Structure 1
Amino acid sequence: MKLRSLLAALCGPFTPDAGLLFARVTGALLVLHVHGLPKLLHFSDELAHIDDPLHMGRALTLYCAIFAEVLCPILVALGLLTRLASLPFLFLLLVSMLLVHPDWSIADGQFGWLLIIVFGTIAISGAGRYSVDARLRTAVHG
Structure 2
Amino acid sequence: MTRFSPTDAALLFLRVSASVLVLLVHGLPKALHYSQELNAIDDPLHMGKTLTFWFALFAEVACPLLMIAGIATRLAALPILVVTAIALGFVHREWTLFEAQFAWMLLILFGTVAIGGAGRYRIAMRPRAPSRGQA
Is the shorter-chain TM-score for this pair beyond 0.5, marking a shared fold? yes
1:38 maps onto 2:29 in alignment? yes
Structure 1 Cα separation of the partners of residues 125 and 43 of structure 2 = 38
SS in 2 for 1:55: coil
Give RMSD over aligned pairs.
1.5
Flag structure 2 segments of 5+ consecutive residues without an equivalent.
130-135
Structure 1 Cα separation of the partners of residues 101 and 127 of structure 2 = 38
Where do residues 46-57 of structure 1 align in structure 2 (5 Å cutoff)? 46-57=37-48
Match of 1:123 in 2: 114
Structure 1 Cα separation of the partners of residues 128 and 69 of structure 2 = 17
Superposed displacement of residue 139, structure 1: 4.7
Q: 1:70 aligns with which of 61, 81, 86?
A: 61
Structure 1 Cα separation of the partners of residues 13 and 95 of structure 2 = 29
Where do residues 82-101 of structure 1 align in structure 2 (5 Å cutoff)? 82-101=73-92
Matched to 2:117, the amino acid is G
Q: 2:12 aligns with which of 14, 18, 21?
A: 21
SS in 1 for 2:78: helix
Superposed displacement of residue 138, structure 1: 9.2
Taking every aligned residue pair, what percent have the same amino acid on both sides?
52
Q: 1:102 aligns with which of 93, 99, 114?
A: 93
**8 Å contact from structure 2 (residues 71, 125) kept in 1:** no
Flag structure 1 segments of 5+ consecutive residues without an equivalent.
1-12
Structure 1 Cα separation of the partners of residues 126 and 66 of structure 2 = 16
TM-score, reference length from structure 1: 0.84
TM-score, reference length from structure 2: 0.88
